[in-house]
Structure 1
Amino acid sequence: MNAPRHRTWWVRLGQLAGLVAMALLGLFDLRFGDFHGMTPAALLLTLARMGLAAATVLVWLPVHRTGSRRAPVLALLVGAASLAVSLALGALHTAGSYVLSGNWGLAESAGLMAVVFVVARWGAPRIAPWAAVVAGLAVAALPLRAGTDSVYVIFALLQALAAVGAAAGGIYLRVVATGRDRAIALVRAEQRAEFARDLHDFIAHHVTGIVVQAQGARFVAEQDPQRVITALEQIERAGAETMASMRRMVGILRDPDAAPDAPLAPLAGVADLAPLLEGFNGTANAPARLHVDGALDGLPVEVSTSAYRLVMEGLTNARQHAPDARSVDVFVRRTPDWLLVRVADDGAAARTSPPRRHGYGLVGLTERVRALGGTITAGPGVTGGWVLDAALPLQRTVVR
């Protein structure tokens, strides 16, 4: 979040314009500065203020990160040096030495205002306020180098207001950037949490199949060794997919600073329902049949992935809690405004509610479906078995 911002062409053009403006103001200061009659000390101080104008470039030109300590430290040094030069020149002017003739250093004024802006925008919170105050006081004190007449006091007040405006601009951009970064961090955290939930259900689905296959292989080991080999092959394949999914999940969750384009999309959509049912049929006694009514292309991504999750949860529950089921039917129907999903088994075992130990998948699905503005129900069917029903709106009406 605190990485340097990408420097687009217009930013570089603006910095080049700033350098050109500083150079022109420096030439103006040299052209209209009056060095006649200066004492060596006054001449030395005048050269010092020109050097300070160049030193401000070292603060506002480089790329800084949010929370930078370098920018406010340099700003403190430059601002303190500018204040010291202003006090010295003011003392010489009060003593009667002819130092300046109406020109207090426009290049230095512009540079210090840029310093105030940069410090307010990028500086470390603990140091930036002090650095901005010192640089702002230095800007306000510049016109007083030429005298304390009312015109110079007015210019001092105007430059102080300009410094306040520069600080306000920097703070505003900082607040906007901070809010944007927080919003991005929140979205990415939500994406990772959703991805973790998807992978949890995916892993639970495969692990359940592994357990069922292992239990079945134990009972048929003596009667049909060939079926044991088939079961072991399916267990190996499901285990490999589970391990790959776990590595992927852990890698994403352990890297909060992954690139924004990291693969955070959910696992699959309705186009992958057929392979899902094929995998289920290879590990369950009851065959699963897919019934599709309507075209499933062009569905919103969140609807497609939620439908896949619903079917996967329904199949997992049927395999876990309906071992006596003879069939599982998956219905997916598309209407102009809704995608309707139903997973129904004909198991005879009574299930009044999802077991507490395995109810987290259904809870997560309920939250997701309701966030999309849909509805979901799960309970005993009219003719027996268990039915999972969901209606997902095809319009993007997300409920918060």
Structure 2
Amino acid sequence: MSDDEQAPAPKEFAGRRWLFPSALVHELDPDAGAPGRRPRRTARDWVVDFFCFLLAVGIGLAAAQSLSEETGLPRSLAILDQTLGALSCGAVWLRRRWPVGLAVAMIPVGLLSNSSGGASMVALFTLAVHRPFRYVAWIGGAGLALIPFFFWVRPDPDLPYLGVVVFTALLTVSITGWGMFVRSKRMLMLSLRDRAHRAETEARLRAEQAQRLAREAIAREMHDVLAHRLTLLSVHAGALEFRPDAPREEIARAAGVIRESAHEALQDLREIIGVLRAGESDESSGGRPQPTLAALAALVAESREAGMEVALDHRVADPAAVPASVGRTAYRIAQEALTNARKHAPGTEVTVRLTGNPGDGLTVTVANPAPPAEIPPVPGSGQGLIGLTERATLAGGRLEHGTRPDGGFEVRGWLPWPRH
């Protein structure tokens, strides 16, 4: 009998099979499939079963040879003993399919046949491996209780009564304990395998969640970047449309801005699509470096070239000291606010104010007065400010925006700037 025997799932696990994957459930309980379907016996199972059969036959033959030494044993009872022993050895091949039935049947057979002792041992071991303790307790206890009665009826010719009873009882308990140990070892291995499977599943889910969060961040970057570029295109294209008689130099400058903005937008779009295909963050994909607070002046200059009036009030002494993530978030807030001001309040002077110190945080404010005249509403998704609010919250800060008493609009964001 091998320690590697497969043990079907105990009955107490029948209501908790959701803890194990289907493959492990089948390995714990081969009968857990469709009703009436027998589990496929592997090559290892055939080897183990053949070994158990040989063990039962060997013990049965040894017991059959000792029948001639029993005094007063009728010939008919000796023939019955050997016949039941042979049938019991053949029944060993059914031990995997009916472990309880075989163990129960071997109790009365063992009272009539001494040569079936090997098959009884195999049946008891199989019961301990394949079924929970309550089956082993009842069936094994019944077998232990009948040992004194058996040797009282058929005493051993070589050993004293008490000695053979104690020896047989210890052998029965040892076989039962061995089977229970094999079962516990098998259940432990399956439990560890299940935990490893769940750990792999959780790791895969965490990786998928991280990928989803990265793609959401990329989507926000796409909105912030492309909205700014496309707004520049719209402003200059509108100027060319409504001023066909503009000077040649102004037309050339507007066309140059349109070409450059279109090129930049296309380049940004290609990088973002490349990141989405690769499933990685844009910073790890070899793309252009993300803007920081030091790029804010260039953003303001670009807006001025597009015809906006922008006043920059930069009161941060050392922009390079601002953490990169904080500076990038402040840049995106200013970029989105300038884009919205260009669309909804054209012709107004926009003020960008930046203040802050380490430990106090970084504050970026973008405000514009009410437009001088009623302008038609510009279509928009309204997701820009929502995305900025989420971005600021994720960075540990906050974002406030709304209409001012004079009819203007203000966006104010605060971001944490830790003290080093």
2:38 matched to 1:86?
no
Larger Rg: 2
SS in 2 for 1:186: helix
Partner of 2:353: 331
Contact 1:345–1:387 (Cα < 8 Å) also in 2: yes
SS in 2 for 1:154: helix
Partner of 2:194: 171
In structure 1, give the amino acid aligned to 2:264. E
1:293, 1:79 → 2: CA distance? Answer: 76
2:324 matched to 1:362?
no
Structure 1 pair 79/171, CA: closer, same or farther in 2 (3 Å)?
Answer: farther
2:282, 2:362 → 1: CA distance? Answer: 33
Superposition map of 1:56-71 within 5 A: none
Structure 2 residue corresponding to 1:96, chosen from 37, 58, 62: 58
Superposition map of 1:267-278 within 5 A: 267-278=290-301
Partner of 2:163: none
1:134-186 deviation digits (Å, cap 9, x = unpaired): xxx9x959xxxxxx854344223212211211221122122223222212221
SS in 1 for 2:364: strand
2:408 matched to 1:385?
yes
Contact 1:280–1:288 (Cα < 8 Å) also in 2: no
Structure 1 residue corresponding to 2:208, chosen from 185, 188, 208: 185
In structure 2, give the amino acid aligned to 1:377. E
Contact 1:344–1:387 (Cα < 8 Å) also in 2: yes
* 5+ long unaligned stretches in structure 2: 5-20, 31-38, 62-125, 131-170
Contact 2:214–2:280 (Cα < 8 Å) also in 1: no
2:413, 2:400 → 1: CA distance? Answer: 6
1:347-366 deviation digits (Å, cap 9, x = unpaired): 43489xx9773421011112
Contact 1:194–1:266 (Cα < 8 Å) also in 2: no
Structure 1 pair 163/264, CA: closer, same or farther in 2 (3 Å)?
Answer: farther
2:303 matched to 1:341?
no
1:350, 1:372 → 2: CA distance? Answer: 37
1:90, 1:271 → 2: CA distance? Answer: 80
1:47-80 deviation digits (Å, cap 9, x = unpaired): xx9xx9xxxxxxxxxxxxxx9x9xx99xx99972
1:337, 1:365 → 2: CA distance? Answer: 21
Contact 2:293–2:328 (Cα < 8 Å) also in 1: yes
Identity of aligned residues (%): 25
SS in 1 for 2:314: strand
SS in 1 for 2:412: strand
1:240, 1:370 → 2: CA distance? Answer: 32
Aligned length: 284
2:40, 2:178 → 1: CA distance? Answer: 21
RMSD of equivalent CA atoms: 3.9
* 5+ long unaligned stretches in structure 1: 1-45, 53-66, 100-136, 142-147
Length-normalised TM-score, structure 1? 0.61
Structure 1 residue 252 displacement after superposition? 2.6
SS in 2 for 1:96: helix
1:206-250 deviation digits (Å, cap 9, x = unpaired): 101001011112344423011111111111111011112222222
1:291, 1:387 → 2: CA distance? Answer: 17
SS in 1 for 2:380: helix
